Structure 1
Amino acid sequence: MFGINDLPKFFLAFFLVLPIISFVHEAGHVFFAWLMGGKNITVIVGTGNKLFHWWILEVREYYFWYGFCSFDNLKHNKRLSNILIFSGGVLFNALAAIAVMYLVQVKSVESGMLTYQFTYFSMYYIFFALLPMPYPDGSYSDGKVILDLIRNKPQITENIYRIHLDEKKAKWQVLDNSKTILESSDKEAEVLAKAHELAQSNRPSRLLEIKNGKEVEICNYPIVPL
């Protein structure tokens, strides 16, 4: 039964063990994103205002709650690549838990509350990450995305944005999937910035430029694992 004496153990798990498990989870995602050629990789631990940013790690005010990662421009932005990326989180959690259990078994690490909590909450993380469900904010669990990728569901079909120069009007334009004009300007830089903003906000997406009748990819923005 949970008692007053167990409160310190609860806070230890909440403020120390869970953030570590969250980081391990996100590290699994970005490891495979890196293997697939992902650029601008960032691991975010927590939510709220940013506390500090070091290398690819960003720690936020409420570091013990939530976590996600972001990256763009995958060289291998295919279904299998994305399945590996979204599976990476639970794979790293499982490997970390197995490693801790092995070290305890061979007595390299002493069994205690920390090892128990790490193993328990790793399994907790794995279960809820793989549970195929939508979240209230409109995002999906890793399991839901993996299942949809396997089934090739339409909600994860890429949005395509194109920029091109309308020579008759002397205007740079941003076009959506149906070639509808979303933005136009005399300045290429303004249109390009707007196109990147739209593509980032509507992942998964690809940003293309039409040159001499051919489409050249500028950047791609995969869906963001949690």
Structure 2
Amino acid sequence: MFGLKDLFMLAISAFIILPISTFIREAGYFIISSLFGVKNPRLTIGSGPRLFKLKFLDVRKYYHVHSWFTFDSIRSKSKFAYICIYAGPILINFILALTINAFLANGYLQEGEKFWNLFIFYSLYFVLYDAIPMNTVNGKPNNGMIIYELLRYGKRIDYNTEPLIVGTTEAEKEHEQEVKEFEKTKEELEKSLVQERKKDDDRT
């Protein structure tokens, strides 16, 4: 039966474990790509207006499960480099899941066993999502499909014009435009509220 403890663990899963697992997945791109000399790498956490930017880390106001990795260019153009980069999220989550499971199997982390079991669950969820070749939203290939195409054909053949990993400079321009639109909408809404209050005052 689904009880209060289960509801509590669901909240922990949705608001803590899943966002952290998502960030770790994106960190897989960052760690592996740094070995191949990427230019202007960036890890973004959350969405909306920026709270702060620290070197390669960009933290946004609305933090939940939305995290992503961007870079402008890469020094190594080899097929091997791209295979490694797209395998990064798979490797980091798989290694993390195995490590935590090994600790649990040897009697460590017992006090928070349910929490760590859920952590393993989400880590392996991302492993399966990334490793099994398939097309996802709008026909975009997942990492497994990209790796498969690179190994079999030597290139991506999905015909999708959008890059899977967006350029940091391009993402920054999009963010600036989103912030301008957000501020404009906010300003219009505030003006509308002021006018409504004025109408109400006039009626009274």
Query: Do the structures match in fold with TM over 0.5?
Result: yes
SS of residue in 1 equivalent to 2:41: strand
* CA RMSD after TM alignment: 2.5
CA contact (8 A) 2:29 2:89 kept: yes
Q: Mind listing any 5+ residue stretches in structure 2 that lack a counterpart?
A: 165-169, 171-204
For 1:124, the aligned partner's letter is Y
Q: How does 1:20-39 map to 2 (within 5 A)?
A: 20-39=20-39
Give distance in 1, aligned partners of 2:122 and 2:102: 17
1:53-64 alignment to 2 at 5 Å? 53-64=53-64
Confirm or deny that 1:136 pairs with 2:137.
Answer: yes
Q: Cα deviation per residue 1:187-206 (whole Å; 9 max; x = unaligned)?
A: xxxxxxxxxxxxxx9648xx
Deviations 1:104-162 (CA, angstroms, capped at 9, x unpaired): 222232252211111011111111122323332453311121112222345479xxxxx
Structure showing the higher strand proportion among its residues: 1
Write the deviation string for residues 160-202 of structure 1: whole angstroms up to 9, x where unpaired. Answer: xxxxxxxxxxxxxxxxxxxxxxxxxxxxxxxxxxxxxxxxx96
In structure 2, what is the Cα distance between the partners aligned to 1:59 and 1:2?
A: 35
* Partner Cα distance (1:4, 1:133) in 2: 37
| Superposition pairs of residues 190-205 of structure 1, within 5 angstroms | 203=163
1:152 alignment partner in structure 2 = 154
The CA deviation at 1:74 is 1.3
CA distance in structure 2 between the aligned counterparts of 1:83 and 1:146, rounded to whole angstroms = 6
Counterpart Cα distance in 2 of 1:38 and 1:17: 29
Corresponding residue of 2:83: 83
Unaligned runs of 5+ in 1: 158-200, 205-220, 222-226
Answer whether contact 2:140 2:158 (CA < 8 A) is retained: no
Figure out how many residues of one structure are paired with residues of the other and give that number: 162
More helix by share: 2
**Is the CA contact 1:33–1:71 (under 8 Å) kept in the aligned structure 2?**
no
